[in-house]
Amino acid sequence: MNSVILQLAAKYLKWLLITFAILALLRGHNQPGGGFIGGLMAGLAMIFEGFASNTEQMKEILRDKPLRLTGAGLLIIFLSFIPSLVTGNIPMTGIWMKIPIPVGGEIKLGTPLLFDAGVFLTVTGVTLLFVLSLTRKNAWR
């Protein structure tokens, strides 16, 4: 596929989609969404950009991102267990803290969000890894 319009559009649409994915991640705790869904979206966004350009370019764009994303995701998941261990709770207990906003109200931040972010990154990475492995040229030689 070699469409300049699509290529250019994909470049920006990708960020829109990723923003959307992050939104899905953040709202996940109270409304439909979450790390898994967000991660799939983000992965698809990047694949979209890759498909719009050709495979060689796609490889250049993504290179070893998928492996790093996956690793980082798993690492964040493990990091999210540390607060519960430090505070002497049962491992993986959700630890929350409230940060008041000057404008009014407050934001609740907790380890489940961190956990979900880890899931997000891992799923993104894994999705990319699958598709990228399948589309590699030398894989089919």
Q: Which residues bind to other proteins, rule: CB under 8 A?
A: 28-37, 40-41, 43-44, 47, 51, 66-67, 70, 73-74, 77, 92, 94, 96, 108, 110, 112-113, 115-116, 118-119, 122-123, 125-127, 129-136, 138-141
Instruction: Residue 124: name the closest of 8, 6, 14 by CA.
Output: 14
For residue 81, the minimal CB distance to other proteins (Å) is 8
For residue 4, the minimal CB distance to other proteins (Å) is 21
For residue 38, the minimal CB distance to other proteins (Å) is 10
Nearer to other proteins, 12 or 96 (CB): 96
Instruction: Residue 43: name the closest of 117, 119, 123 by CA.
Output: 123
Q: Quote the CA–CA distance of 64 and 43 in Å, as a whole number.
A: 14
Residues 6+ apart with CB under 8 A from 125: 43, 65, 66, 67, 68, 69, 70, 71, 72, 73
For residue 134, the minimal CB distance to other proteins (Å) is 5
Nearer to other proteins, 7 or 34 (CB): 34
∠ Cα 81 86 88 (to 5°): 100
